[in-house]
Amino acid sequence: MIATLHGKIQARTDDALIVNVSGVGFRVRVPSSTLANLGAIGSEVLLFTHLHVREDELSLYGFATEDELHLFETLLTVSGIGPKVGLSILSAAPVETLRVAIAQGNLDVLTAIPGIGKKTAQRLILELKGKIDVSGMGEVGELTPLDRDVIDALINLGYSAAEATRAARAVPTEVKTIEERVRVALQYLGAR
């Protein structure tokens, strides 16, 4: 119904934008990754959108790329995954990481996402494993128990699950203690 929106950012909130398209303001919920990469109020924006229709509400969800939109719509086919959970999944990790994690059955990556427990992650893998195309993508390796501890520490410090996972993976394997691994991960995040 509404495939794209092209207009100016009129306002921003923690999880949404008001996009002014020829004098009409559309409230569009977006993943935090998209929100962080958009310009300031008044700048032009192009969003690929999904209109979610419920009996009592029409909600518009917007994405920076068609790939994000496609993954969001694929996530909605999983029983128990609604648009709010789908949006939080896309906010937590890059599309490529999510696609590879689902295709490889990597529970560690999926359970690192806030609000996704082991059962939901298993359901995602079970229902989507054959539907996700990962041709040309690399491997997402298993997280070690030390990596999980680093991720938990970084999340407790206020970093997102995606940032914490990237930082934990960047720590060299020869760093053995949790304190040193967290310190190196913080240096990695500070350098970005």
> What number of CA atoms fall less than 13 Å from residue 145's CA on the CB side?
1
Query: Long-range contact list for 18-25, CB < 8 A, 24+ apart?
Result: 19/45, 19/47, 19/62
Contact 164, 155 (CB under 8 A): yes
DSSP state of 135: T
For 92, the token pair is 């937590």
Residues 132-177: pLDDT tens digits?
Answer: 765 544 444 556 777 878 888 888 888 877 677 778 877 887 888 8
Residues 39-61: pLDDT tens digits?
Answer: 889 999 999 999 999 899 899 99
Of the candidates 92, 99, 47, the residue with the CA atom closest to the CA atom of residue 71: 99
Amino acid identity of 77? T
Which domains are assigned to the chain? 4-63 (2.40.50.140), 66-128 (1.10.150.20), 145-191 (1.10.8)
